[in-house]
């Protein structure tokens, strides 16, 4: 009865999760890179006056302007090669919000690309 109205984890997913945990336990350098990337993204967002939670998680949820503004910004970012999706999720920080996730594999060049794309997208939004 433990799985009534639920779907158990598939064996492949469980094996992948175990392998990921093994990598995390053996490669402490990934932790350092991830922490640095989290801080870099936080600084990028703050430089654009985008305020998010102050936790150490690699997931940032935030809003910018109204729904129309955010849809325009999402479109501009996608045109710049940045997938920063708008979310509609019950109990989120707002009815519509951006959800940005950073990981240890993101490069400095990609973070710079995010910064430049935000600069352009926000300038376009402020001009309209």
Q: How far apart are the first and last CA of the chain?
A: 57
* Spatial distance between the Cα atoms of 16 and 78, rounded to a whole number of angstroms: 30
**Res 36: pLDDT:** 96
Average pLDDT on 26-47 reads 93
H/E stretch holding 3: none
Question: Band of the pLDDT at 46, cuts 50, 70, 90?
Answer: very high
Binning pLDDT at 50, 70 and 90, where does residue 5 land? Answer: low
pLDDT at 87: 92
Q: What is the DSSP letter of 63?
A: -
Look up residue 19 and give its two tokens.
């392998």
Residue 113 is predicted with a pLDDT of 97
* Cβ-based neighbour number of residue 85 at 10 Å: 12
pLDDT tens-digit map of 68-119: 999 999 999 999 999 999 998 877 788 899 999 999 999 999 999 999 999 9
Angle between helices 28-47 and 108-127 (to 10 degrees): 20
**Angle (CA) 12 14 18, round 5°:** 115
**What confidence category does residue 4 fall into, taking pLDDT thresholds of 50, 70 and 90?**
low
For the stretch 9-25, pLDDT in tens is: 888 989 999 998 898 88
| Least reliable range by pLDDT among 4-8, 63-67, 95-99, 107-111 | 4-8
Q: What is the 3 state secondary structure string of 74-99?
A: HHHHHHCCCCCCEECCCCCCCCCEEE
- Which residue, 10, 61, 8, 40, is CA-closest to 104? 40
């Amino acid at each position: 009865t433990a799985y009534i109205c639920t779907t158990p984890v598939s064996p492949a997913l469980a094996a992948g999760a175990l392998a990921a945990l093994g990598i995390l336990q053996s490669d402490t350098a990934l932790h350092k890179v991830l922490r640095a990337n989290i801080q870099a993204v936080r600084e990028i967002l703050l430089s654009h006056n985008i305020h998010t939670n102050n936790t150490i998680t690699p997931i940032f949820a935030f809003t910018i302007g109204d729904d129309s503004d955010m849809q325009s910004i999402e479109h501009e970012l996608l045109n710049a090669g940045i997938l920063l999706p708008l979310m509609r999720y019950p109990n989120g920080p707002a009815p519509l919000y951006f959800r940005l996730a950073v990981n240890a594999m993101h490069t400095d060049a990609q973070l710079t690309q995010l910064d430049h794309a935000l600069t352009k997208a926000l300038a376009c939004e402020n001009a309209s």
